[in-house]
Structure 1
Amino acid sequence: MSLSRRRLGALLLSATLLTACGAPDKPGGQAAESAGVPVPDKPSAPVSLNILDVAGNLQLTQGMIDEFVSKNSGVISKVTYSKATAPELAGKIKAQQDAGRVDIDLVLTGVDGLAAGIDQGLWLSFEPFTSRLTAMSDYLPGAQAMQKLAGQYGVTVTYYPSGPLIEYLPAKVPNPPKTAQELLDYAKANPGAVQYARPANSGPGRTLLMGLPYLLGDKDPKDPVNGWEKTWAYLAELNKYVTLYPSTTSETMKSLANGSAKIIASTTGWDINPRVLGQVPKEAAIGSLSGFHWVTDAHYVVVPKGVSADKQSAILLLLQSMLTREQQAKAYDKGYFYPGPAIKDVPLSMAPADSQKAIADYGRPEYDQLIAGNPLEVPLDAKALVAAFDKWDREIGGAKVNK
């Protein structure tokens, strides 16, 4: 695999990349040795880690991280957490790298931040360390596909089938749309009533954006520049009846709860968790549009270039722990990324008691059938996703984003 192809990230979905990501002969691998900084099996001294979350992932994984730190003081002495939005991520990391001082050691991100960082060459490669990480065969099939999407630049730590779904209150929308055309007709008849957040910073918004080409029968769902003629036309028409695009998904949930929006884009997790937390009425309902495909989603650990070898070593040990079945069970959380675990054979019965109760009270039995009965599609690769976000911002809704 040539260095130029590695830099471009053009092999995110290719089989050749998967083969190249096989275990190296020695831990540390050729790439680390060629850089002249071997990564030890254990840090030479306990390290402190600065962890940045741009995906809301700490809700699922902070318990995993904190438990590892409490039991491995010889590896990690302290963890500091901070949060930012996905669109801020690449600029923040690049500024630190340009200054020669990388203060962020580990990033928890979705495909948006992953893609932006790959596009700008910001992330370290995990390729030399595959022998220290979970085998691809240990992942759920959908999570395997998401790991293939990341290639060597990220490690999948949580997974869910995502959406696109629509969410509404039955008392206010007694006859919800069943097709994409019906959703458009509803928006036209009820200006301002349909809402989704800016795709570059919203899982449901991003999933709707990537799901429409399947719903509309576009020429090439994987090519937003040349293959989405129907999708861009649909979004442009829908835009006529959208008053604003919130900058975060949580704002759309508030809009649904207070009645300023009647139908919002949603996903399995964004349906369950806000109802558990009382942010959205429990009676809120979900629907799928005829012919939909799931666009799967995952959260990743990525590591910026410039992080020391000792810190890389600690991160690898942390990841080993986070991807055990026992720790993965915590990813059920309260439905935020439902189901949540990326690893096989992690039933709900392994989850903490409060997670089991939340899913029992607020989960939906129909999800099992929806997941089994509709195709699973991976998101766009890095370059295509960046292109889709850029085109949406420029040509569809950027001027209406509520900042």
Structure 2
Amino acid sequence: MTVSGRLALRLVSVCLVASAALGSTAHAADPVTLNIVDVAGDLQLTQKGFEAFKAKYPNLVANLTFTNAPAPQLPGKIKAMQAAGRSDIDLVLTGTDALAAGIEQNLWMKLLPDNAAAFPGVLDKYAPGPRKMQDLAQGFGLEVAYMPAGPLLEYNPAKVSDPPKTPEQLLQWCKAHPDKLIYARPANSGPGRTFLMGLPYVLGDKDPQDPIHGWDKTWAFLKQLNDCIPYYPGGTSAVMKELGEGTRDMTVTVTGWDINPRALGIVPAEFRVQAFDNMTWVNDAHYMVIPKGVPKEKLDVIYKLMNFMLEPAQQAMTYDDGYFYPGPAIKGVSIEQAPAHSQDVLKKYGRPEYAKLLAERPHVLPLNATAMVAAFKKWDSDVGAQKTK
């Protein structure tokens, strides 16, 4: 063999050894632990899906930890964590509340279009209503569940024979029955914020998308209503407990918070709902967002997990026990694909009138991030300041 031949052979051998070493390094990454924080009650819909991912990919995920936290407290916690150079939270499940606060405070990673290659065709997967809700994320999150929410009134028919059909009738009923109407602080309650955002449409305010300059009628109404409301709980669960126990006779609700507490026995099955005569549906959604600072070796796994959660099998699980009715965000996922238990719950506790209302009444997006944060701050200072617990 010539010298040049031996040299070429040696170079090939070196390249092969180097390639093998690189290959073994690329596949030697240890499975990661992912810390998932839920500020929306979303784990009711998605935890089984996350666990299915871990079971399918044990080479990627060693462990999953799940934590629940109040939405108003999370941005401050993440901000402090990021300032300290720590990354204790890998994925956040949020409603529009903490999503908005995090966008305003620059806490979330930009997923789209910055990392679009990791989510091929993702925007085309969404059904029309959810697709509009996805725009609210401004590329900082991926929608994982969807609900045309409300606002609706829920009441005890044994105590309320003629439920209010207008805000004025609601105010009159509340004044005649002090302490019997209750709702939770909007910054940490889906029904609370849906009621807040729905009123400008019902009351005919000049700009329902501008809570500071366009909600004169809404703020005046809420201040009047304040006089006959005992206090504002910090979350919806406390509201439903008081309603179910008979301490209160009426609250504001949304489709999922109507169905799910009755299915769980927290609220009696025979309790009813009433929509305002000229209601506009304010839609709602849950999102998956990633705090800035999550290390690269985890990001690749998280991206794969997020795509997995948007597959039909995992989306069908979001029908759940009606908590975020209906639930699925992507196209073509029907109740027939849901687990049998979910089908039974919705057959028993769903409401036939919802289909008619959803078809007949207009639908709008909730406030954008900046406006929603402004609305929460104004409600806290002008309405709930003396009574929020």
If the length of structure 2 is used for normalisation, what is the TM-score? Answer: 0.91
Pairing of 1:160-171 with structure 2 (within 5 A)? 160-171=147-158
Letter in 2 for 1:71: K
CA apart distance, 1:332: 0.2
Shift of 1:131: 3.4
Distance 1:121 1:218 in 2: 31
Matched, 1:126 2:111: yes
Partner AA of 1:130 in structure 2: A
Structure 1 counterpart of 2:51, from 66, 90, 103: 66
> Partners in 2 of 1:305 and 1:190 — Cα distance?
48
Match of 1:84 in 2: 69
CA contact (8 A) 1:274 1:280 kept: yes
Residues 1:316 and 2:303 are matched in the alignment? yes
Residue in structure 2 matched with residue 55 of structure 1 by the alignment: 40
Q: Secondary structure at the match of 2:316?
A: helix
> What's the % identity of the aligned pairs?
53
Question: SS of the counterpart of 2:383?
Answer: helix
Per the alignment, in what secondary structure is the counterpart of residue 279 of structure 1? coil
Cα gap change, 1:196 to 1:321, in 2 (>3 Å): same
Tell me: CA distance 1:325–1:130, structure 2 relative to 1, closer, same or farther (3 Å): same
Q: Distance in 1 between matches of 2:206 and 2:190?
A: 24
- The alpha-carbon deviation at position 42 of structure 1 amounts to 9.2
* 196-205 or 371-380, larger mean C-alpha shift: 371-380
Query: What's the counterpart of residue 387 of structure 1?
Result: 374
What SS is found at the alignment partner of 1:278? coil
Equivalent-residue separation in structure 2 for 1:267 and 1:102 (angstroms):
34
Deviation at 1:141, TM superposition (A): 1.3
| In 1: Cα distance, 2:164 partner to 2:28 partner | 56
Q: Which residue of 2 aligns with 1:303?
A: 290
Amino acid at match of 1:78: N
Which residue in the other structure is 1:236 paired with?
Answer: 223
Distance 2:60 2:138 in 1: 27
Q: Which amino acid aligns with 2:79?
A: K
Deviations 1:51-105 (A, max 9, x none): 1011100000000000000110111111111110000110110110011111001
**AA aligned opposite 1:245:** Y
Residue correspondence of structure 1 range 36-185 to structure 2 within 5 A: 44-127=29-112, 128-133=114-119, 134-185=121-172
Q: Report matched runs for 1:248-259 at 5 Å.
A: 248-259=235-246
Q: Distance in 2 between matches of 1:135 and 1:124?
A: 17
Taking the aligned partners of 1:117 and 1:233, their CA distance within structure 2 comes to 29
Does residue 351 (structure 1) correspond to residue 338 (structure 2)? The answer is yes
When structure 1 is superposed on structure 2, of 200-209 and 127-136 the one drifting more is: 127-136
Q: Does structure 2 conserve the Cα–Cα contact (< 8 Å) formed by 1:69 and 1:77? A: yes
1:322-337 matched pairs, under 5 angstroms? 322-337=309-324
Distance in 2, matches of 1:385 and 1:43, equals 45
The structure with the larger Rg is 2
Aligned with 1:399: secondary structure?
Answer: coil
- Residue 199 of structure 1 pairs with residue 195 of structure 2: no
**C-alpha contact (below 8 Å) 1:257/1:279 kept by paired residues:** yes
Deviation digits for residues 134-187 of structure 1 (CA, Å, limit 9, x no counterpart): 532221111111100111111100000011000001111111001111001111
Describe the SS at the equivalent of 1:245.
coil
- What is aligned with 2:350? 363
In structure 2, the CA distance between the partners of 1:283 and 1:42, relative to structure 1 (3 Å rule), is farther
Q: Distance in 1 between matches of 2:53 and 2:246?
A: 43
Q: Distance in 2 between matches of 1:42 and 1:115?
A: 38
Name the aligned partner's letter for residue 170 of structure 1: P
User: Pick from 201, 205, 222: which aligns with 2:209?
Assistant: 222
8 Å contact kept, 1:52–1:107: yes
Distance 1:374 1:398 in 2: 33
* Runs (5+) with no aligned partner, structure 1: 1-40
How many equivalent residue pairs? Answer: 362
Partner of 2:177: 190
Q: How does the TM-score come out when normalised to structure 1?
A: 0.88
Q: Output the CA distance in 2 between the equivalents of 1:371 and 1:129.
A: 35
Contact 1:43 1:311 in 2 (8 A): no
Partner deviation per Cα, 1:8-35 (whole Å, 9 max, x = no partner): xxxxxxxxxxxxxxxxxxxxxxxxxxxx
Which ranges of structure 2 fall in alignment gaps of 5 or more residues?
1-25
